[in-house]
Amino acid sequence: MTVHDMKHADSDSARLEAVGGRLSRVDGPAKITGAAHYAVEQQLEGLTHAVLVGATIAAGKVTAIDSRAAQTAPGVLAVLTPDTIMELNGASDWLGNPPTQATYSPLVREVTFSGQHIAAVVAETFEQAVAAAALVKVWYDETPAIVDLSDRRAGDGIPIDAMTKEWGDAEAAFAEAPVRICTAYNTPREFQAAMEPHGLIARWQGDELTIWEPSQWLDGMARTYAEWFGVPFENVRLVSPYIGGGFGSKALALAHSAVAAAAAKMLNRPVKLVLNRPQNFTSYGGRAATRQTVAIGADREGRIQSIVHRGVNETAVDGMWVEPLGSVTSIMYATPNFSSKQNVVRVNTVVPGAKRAPGENPSAFGIECAIDELAHELGIDPLEMRLINYAEQDPHAKKPWSTRQLREAFAAGAEAFGWAKRSPAPRSMRDGHQLIGWGVAAGTYPVRRAYGEAVVKILADGSVEVESSSIDMGQGTYTILAQTAAETLGVPVEQVSVKLGDSHFARAGVTGGSRLAGVMTGAVHKAAGQALDELIGLALSDPASPFHGLQANTLHVRDGRIASPRGEGPELSIAAFMRAVGRDHIEARGDTVPANFTPEQRYNNYTTIATAIPHTEGDYSRHSWCAHFVEVHVDEDFGTVRVSRVVSALDSGRLYNPKLAESQWKGGIIMGIGQALLEEGIVDRRHGRIVNGNLADYMLPTNADIPDIRTISVGIPDPHSSALGGKGVGELGIVGVAPAIANAVFHATGKRVRDLPITLEKLI
């Protein structure tokens, strides 16, 4: 702990080490000193290296592969092709649906996207594998590819009926509304661009498989490997102690994972395969490109009468991804009439995937820009517009919110930003050649819940161990679970060590949808409570205990010392007590899984998302909320946009650790700035190739692009959302940032940019 932290702690009500304290990340020192070993940094005896060969066309057939030169190159152990790689079983999907095909080949003959894996070379060294992979010759029969949503041959796509949300008569009410806007918004293909690339080391020992792989979901991925290779689930061990960012991309075992594990089995040697940066743009999906139209009808006072919303997202030729575009549209504002429908369009891409707040993020871009447009049309302040249409309950589920501090967020954000000083007309604020714009937008993310399990051990020396197969990709899981165990047990946080990232620990479900913190603090709280009960029970009942015979029904543990609540009798450390009763540990396995769950339901709870609890289950609708206030400077001559100020007020319920929550929110806001101004996957129209698939050409914000960001927590504990009263944090922050910036750019320039990113050529 540094002096700086101590100062922070002093100014906060919660104790540093308790839940709600501003404890710095307990994994920080290991990461900074290099003591933290990431998955693919493991040093193994006899390690071999695999390198992939990807398709250079986006559609067609591989007609021939000549691997002779590669096979005889120095150090080469094997060249795998669709003909030579071992056959795998099909695996069930993450919803738990059974496989659609009996067999699976991660190397293909039928190409459906550029970069798809066709062959792999395994060699003694990485350099040998790279050199030999360049010698593999591939011939194709190329057919025309559908490169993106704008391709006419792609058509209107496939309706996803499950996404339809309707009440009232939206079309008729829109037609009759005195004030109407109807606008279209587009977001491009985006990528997660985590600093740590995807990759893995696979090792077989008999029919036991160990995989070191960065993972947001050890148990889900272990299930996939077990199914591919037809071995029992228990035989697969996933190890992922540290992760250099995932942002949604690291939850599934992918084709390259299968190639490495198959190669390891075929060669009976451990195999390491790490995707190079361009392969990180084609081996798994980023955020799907989206198109939406938002039609809003209102009365002259600004009260919304109807919203008609239509959305489309791209998906793959041979895989389905739905980016739910109506998710924010359907709940943010009160409206008597509503209709939202969505189609998907198949294009020649790898299956798109989850990127921070999938669905909510592009959904908010549509509705939060449209509200700004309506406010401008009516001459109403955009913040006032949002208050006029404030949804007092969930308009779709027709249930009260568990908690919704959005009004408080608008008020706190506006106050801190100085919104009252905004001059309403576009182009009315400037500083020399810089046009200044102020924009606002709201955001939300549902509280996703699931059941969790954890093991808490009290050891002979009084230290505590927490074990869970959940993970920390930078959010702070290690830290908040240490705080939860320390507070529940009454021991100093330095005495707690948290072990994560090993599928042989107590099982855990996916780290996705901002659910892990709520699930795991609940499970650790429960397991630690059980361990404490056992400790106290032993202290009162064991004949060798110094507390034996004391007329007390309970004991207190504080700062790692056991005492009676009234102070009579002895007081001793947990270590001294464990010595006295001759115990070397106390262990409790606590879970929040319903008692009537069958073993299969339990297995599915950890390895699929089939048992996730709907956020509108029961009496309430549960969501986190936020309001972003943004200032931009737009150069009048050059059209360059700089975000100069951000104030965001957010409701994530109770915060387990405000320091980490603020860091998460800021990370989301920074990602939102990138999305608004920079990020865009560019596809070559001739061969459907991502041309900017590297970190030099795929633009991401750097420190120089990021202004001072102020975050304000307006949450209150929400007992309906989680055991400790927290709601989701990690994804919330990004939702609403891009529309707040687009709205600010309109205020600065009088120009609406409805296609992200907002680049200078769209402004001049």
Is the torsion defined by CA of 186, 191, 192, 194 positive or negative? negative
CB closer to ligand MCN out of 157 and 653? 653
Q: Which does 358 bind (CB under 5 to 8 A by kind): ligand MCN, ligand MOS, none?
A: ligand MOS
The answer to the question of residue 265 lying near ligand MOS (CB under 6 A) is no
Tokens representing residue 565 in the block:
């609540």
Q: Which does 474 bind (CB under 5 to 8 A by kind): ligand MCN, ligand MOS, none?
A: ligand MCN
DSSP output for 213-282: ---S-HHHHHHHHHHHHT--GGGEEEE-S--S--TTTTSS--HHHHHHHHHHHHHTS-EEEE--TGGGGT
The answer to the question of residue 248 lying near ligand MOS (CB under 6 A) is yes
C-alpha neighbours within 13 Å on the C-beta side of residue 513:
16
Q: Which range of residues in 355-363, 429-437, 438-446, 499-507 is near ligand MOS by CB under 6 A?
A: 355-363
CB closer to ligand MCN out of 452 and 476? 476
Kindly report the number of other CB atoms within 10 A of residue 664's CB atom: 26
Q: Which of 21, 302, 358, 715 binds ligand MOS (CB under 6 A)?
A: 358
Task: Give the angle subtended at the CA of 63 by the CAs of 89 and 66, to the nearest 5°.
Answer: 90
Q: Which does 622 bind (CB under 5 to 8 A by kind): ligand MCN, ligand MOS, none?
A: none
The answer to the question of residue 749 lying near ligand MOS (CB under 6 A) is no
H or E element at residue 406: helix 406-417
Interface with ligand MCN (CB under 6 A): 194, 245-248, 356, 473-477, 480, 511-518, 652-657, 660-661, 664, 667, 726-731
C-alpha neighbours within 13 Å on the C-beta side of residue 515:
24
CB proximity list for 66: less than 8 A, separation 6 or greater: 136, 137, 138
CB closer to ligand MCN out of 203 and 356? 356
Residue with tokens 């609940």: 522
By rule CB under 6 A, what count of residues binds ligand MOS? 10
Q: Between helices 218-229 and 255-267, what is the axis angle to 10°?
A: 50
The answer to the question of residue 507 lying near ligand MOS (CB under 6 A) is no
Q: Identify whether the C-beta of residue 321 lies closer than 8 Å to the C-beta of residue 285.
A: yes
Which residue among the candidates 171, 679, 731, 761 is catalytic per the annotation?
A: 731
Please give the single-letter amino acid code of residue 329.
T
Task: State the minimum distance, in angstroms, from the CB of residue 673 to ligand MOS.
Answer: 18
Q: How far is CA 274 from the centre of its chain?
A: 22
Task: State the minimum distance, in angstroms, from the CB of residue 560 to ligand MCN.
Answer: 24
The answer to the question of residue 366 lying near ligand MOS (CB under 6 A) is no
Task: State the minimum distance, in angstroms, from the CB of residue 514 to ligand MOS.
Answer: 6
Core vs surface per residue 563-576: b (16+ CB within 10 A) or e: bbeeeebebbbbbe
Closest CA to 559 of 571, 551, 545: 571
Task: State the minimum distance, in angstroms, from the CB of residue 555 to ligand MOS.
Answer: 42
The answer to the question of residue 667 lying near ligand MOS (CB under 6 A) is no
Q: Which range of residues in 122-130, 353-361, 377-385, 600-608 is near ligand MOS by CB under 6 A?
A: 353-361
Binding to ligand MOS in span 410-449, by CB under 6 A: none
Tokens representing residue 251 in the block:
């939850």
Closest CA to 243 of 472, 42, 507: 472
Give the separation between CA 511 and CA 470, rounded to whole angstroms.
7
CB closer to ligand MCN out of 436 and 724? 724
CB closer to ligand MOS out of 382 and 512? 512
How many residues in the chain?
Answer: 764
Residue with tokens 């996933």: 238
CB closer to ligand MOS out of 354 and 489? 354
CB closer to ligand MOS out of 220 and 437? 220
Bridge partners, residue 591, by sequence: 453
731 is catalytic: yes
The answer to the question of residue 590 lying near ligand MOS (CB under 6 A) is no
Q: Which does 729 bind (CB under 5 to 8 A by kind): ligand MOS, ligand MCN, none?
A: ligand MCN
Give the separation between CA 137 and CA 139, rounded to whole angstroms.
7
The answer to the question of residue 361 lying near ligand MOS (CB under 6 A) is no
CB closer to ligand MCN out of 462 and 476? 476
Q: Which does 664 bind (CB under 5 to 8 A by kind): ligand MCN, ligand MOS, none?
A: ligand MCN
Residue with tokens 């360049």: 134
Tokens representing residue 491 in the block:
């021991």
Interaction pattern, residues 215-244, with ligand MOS; x per rule: CB under 6 A: -x----------------------------
Task: State the minimum distance, in angstroms, from the CB of residue 498 to ligand MOS.
Answer: 20
DSSP output for 475-510: S-HHHHHHHHHHHHHT--GGGEEEE-SBTTSS----
Q: Which does 740 bind (CB under 5 to 8 A by kind): ligand MCN, ligand MOS, none?
A: none
Q: Identify whether the C-beta of residue 200 lies closer than 8 Å to the C-beta of residue 260.
A: yes
Q: Which does 662 bind (CB under 5 to 8 A by kind): ligand MOS, ligand MCN, none?
A: none
Task: State the minimum distance, in angstroms, from the CB of residue 251 to ligand MOS.
Answer: 6
From residue 46, give the alpha-carbon distance in Å to each of 124, 202, 267, 485. Answer: 8, 12, 11, 40
Residues that bind ligand MOS (CB under 6 A): 216, 247-248, 354-356, 358, 512-513, 731
Q: Annotated active-site positions, please?
A: 731
